[in-house]
Structure 1
């Protein structure tokens, strides 16, 4: 079969929706035109990857870019370069920690202006549902945000307050149900957090005690009750505690429209491994113990999580206060957030492979699942005719040790520093074009379909 004016990417290991097989992927006009038998397409313009895995570009629906306002923490250029280097071709930006936040039409306009000409991958935007902005939700929804994020406990930044009490949560969910919007929620209970011991200092065990499992389970129980009452579609962000899994199972059995995600750091790290004073490991909710981690893996393997996404939330090294970098190491005072956008794929693959999972499993968790969550199935997250030709050449056997100088994050402070991971991204394509990190960006801004 002649190629004509398209291009073809060939591999003996192509991860397709129906499984992995040898194939030729024909690309024309930025989209996948067809998936042909291996070696069936001839002519010029053939890239043969041999035994490298060809997978769809990952979709990361939980990224804090922070621009405008806190671009010194992270920005569109640095975040999307890191994404492309890590095999992520689509991100959806969280409505905080930028200034202004994406809680109004003006805030969304500021985001879009800041992103112009600075995108190495495609980027969409979440809106925010906060006290006092119910009137803005419809305008943001019409403007194409992918849904609305709310906190049930303080967010860490004053300009994005949390919903206080069931009445505010019900009001927000009622409006989002009316719009048909997706509500995404950071669920920790402020009363439980206030009652927990919080002595501060450099001991990780003390920080972990200050964010107990009950903070998640109590908040999730309240959220699910409000979802039952309103009929809203809700998505639980960054599940760290396996204690919430029975609540989610029962809610789904009752017909509540609820999905959940977890993150690479909860699947690959454990509290027992966190050095005292190394606040690169601080996040909220926190990294819990190894036994809890294994329960999360069991739930993931059973299909209980819709997605595995980074919750990439960096800050400057000064705000992290890590003793490794000369800081105080005070977990209570340090900024909470894990920087992992570039290394999420190899981090998850390292642990998944050890547990007997395949690249197809990782694609389901980190590409197809997140794409489906935000309504991008058929466009992103799969190697199938009609989808954007967002592709990754992945070496599943390659190893590397994470070094800060390798990372494109603006502030390469990450708990993965010094860890040896398996899995190397050899090349990334965005709509059929190789992403050149030293060249001009050609990412686009996305809106909800």
Structure 2
């Protein structure tokens, strides 16, 4: 029999309808999809007492049921000691996420070849997945022969980096020439190419009196120009290639005039362009980062309050398409948070902020301050990331035929973030001690509870590996003998 989920506040969003209803959602117990949406108590009563339907009923009262959250920018770091599939998907489930998309870098192996994709999928399937996981393929300029096989075998798109400071041997950065050559290959597919566009052309030089624990001094070595240079390089190349380009991890509001100028060109053969920022750029600002607080270090860096206000204007005007955690875990040692002369050294500490589990309350706390609605939250954290990753035929909405993926939460409850709440592996987070608005009570994937605040012990993992079916253009471009990776 099927399961019925009831609430006085169910968030229904579609192209023609945005409303909160008091009603119910019926989820099939055979395939986990939504069979019916009830919009009144009369419909629910008729179904329960006349049709005698539903084996089990869950009534969440006044708590909000909204589409399950999707994060399209997560560094799971599988194959390393800082995170794994089990811990990160537990954290995701506790945060209301029903699907996350793994970045190709910062893992062993990096997702830069079909062989490595298979190894990563095997890792995921052998671990306990508590939510669904999809994968980005990597673009390095050195793996162009692998791009079409990766597209054929199920990556949701491709990602690359421009900054030499972010690269490492298994995942080199893209140069102007290597990006151009990769664009020519990817144009044969319908895949989106996501790029992290900050670009430091040379390593920062430090004055003799540099104060390594001083965040203001560190920030002065990472000006907005590092993003403007990278964005301009990308824009100069993509105007000659008709494909989907998505720019991620944008921290500076100064780059938006460049992108607006590109959008106004309207040339016959040019790429579509969308943008993404991260929660920490919207919630944290440089003025509040104390000396030695390296848990705040990320790339590009958190900038000042005025810049943050400008980013919120872009959010409110829907110029920014997507908001993500850009979850990147680190060890206490690599973050320079252990004793010794290097403690608190911003110049030596690793980049990255771990916050996936707290994304919803972090975003909602600040949305609330900027007069944004629950529908805006769903737009940025559910529907748009689903669309970006090609998952929008099954996820991102509460609609008949879609997966029964829900986040159940109380947007009015305030609570304080503590280390004890944390489910990702390394308990390093800049939000500890902060009072946030909005608490997740349950997360449902295809009709199954993967998180329940009243039952904090995780039951049988219900997450799946998601591999996209190839688009026709990609299928015509390649001919494989080896097709043993299921899609």
Which residue matches 2:466?
A: 446
Structure 1 stretch 432-441 or stretch 369-378: which is displaced more? 432-441
Q: Distance in 2 between matches of 1:326 and 1:108?
A: 40
CA RMSD of aligned residues (A): 1.7
Tell whether the 8 Å contact from 1:200 to 1:333 is kept in structure 2 after alignment: no
What secondary structure sits across from 1:317 in the alignment? coil
Relative to the length of structure 1, the TM-score reads 0.95
- Call closer, same or farther: CA 1:368–1:326 in 2, change over 3 Å: farther
Deviation for aligned residue 1:105: 1.1
Distance 1:143 1:91, change over 3 A: same
1:143-292 residue pairs with structure 2 within 5 A?
Answer: 143-154=153-164, 155-164=166-175, 166-191=176-201, 194=203, 197=206, 199=210, 201-255=212-266, 256-292=271-307
Q: Which residue of 2 aligns with 1:84?
A: 93
Matches within 5 A, 1:360-379: 360-379=375-394
The CA deviation at 1:415 is 0.5
Equivalence for 2:369: 354
How do 1:83-122 and structure 2 match up within 5 A? 83-116=92-125, 117-122=127-132
Q: Structure 2 residue aligned with 1:66, among 55, 71, 77?
A: 77
Cα distance change on mapping 1:237 and 1:324 into 2, 3 Å: farther
Aligned mates of 1:196, 1:34 — CA distance in 2: 61
User: Partner of 1:229: helix, strand, or coil?
Assistant: coil
Alignment correspondent of 1:26: 26
Write the deviation string for residues 90-148 of structure 1: whole angstroms up to 9, x where unpaired.
Answer: 00000111122100111111111111142000000111111321001111111111111
Q: 2: CA distance between counterparts of 1:59 and 1:250?
A: 30
CA deviation string 1:242-274 (max 9, x = no partner): 011112222222244111111110110000001
Structure 2 unaligned runs (5+)?
49-54, 452-456, 470-487
TM (normalized to structure 2)?
A: 0.88
SS in 1 for 2:183: helix
- 1:306 Cα deviation from its structure 2 partner: 1.4
- For the pair 1:407 / 2:422, whether they are aligned, the reply is yes
- Answer yes or no: is the 8 Å Cα contact 1:196–1:212 preserved in 2: no
Equivalents in 2 of 1:368, 1:257: separation in Å?
Answer: 18
Post-superposition offset of 1:400: 1.4
Match of 1:50 in 2: 61
Q: Which of 102, 113, 136 is equivalent to 1:126?
A: 136
Which one of 337, 349, 352 corresponds to residue 334 of structure 1? 349
1:41 to 39, 44, 53: 44
Q: Distance in 1 between matches of 2:328 and 2:315?
A: 23
Q: What CA deviation, in whole Å up to 9, does each residue of 1:348-370 have, x standing for no partner?
A: 00010111111111000110010
Instruction: Check 1:144–1:353 CA distance in 2 against 1; reply closer, same or farther (3 A cut).
Output: same
Distance 1:435 1:220, change over 3 A: same
Aligned residues: 441
Q: Which has the larger radius of gyration?
A: 2
Show the counterpart of 2:484.
Answer: none
What residue is the counterpart of 2:360 in the other structure? 345
Distance 2:340 2:360 in 1: 26
Contact 1:14 1:21 (C-alpha < 8 Å) held by counterparts: yes
Q: How far apart, CA to CA, are the structure 2 residues paired with 1:34 and 1:210?
A: 55
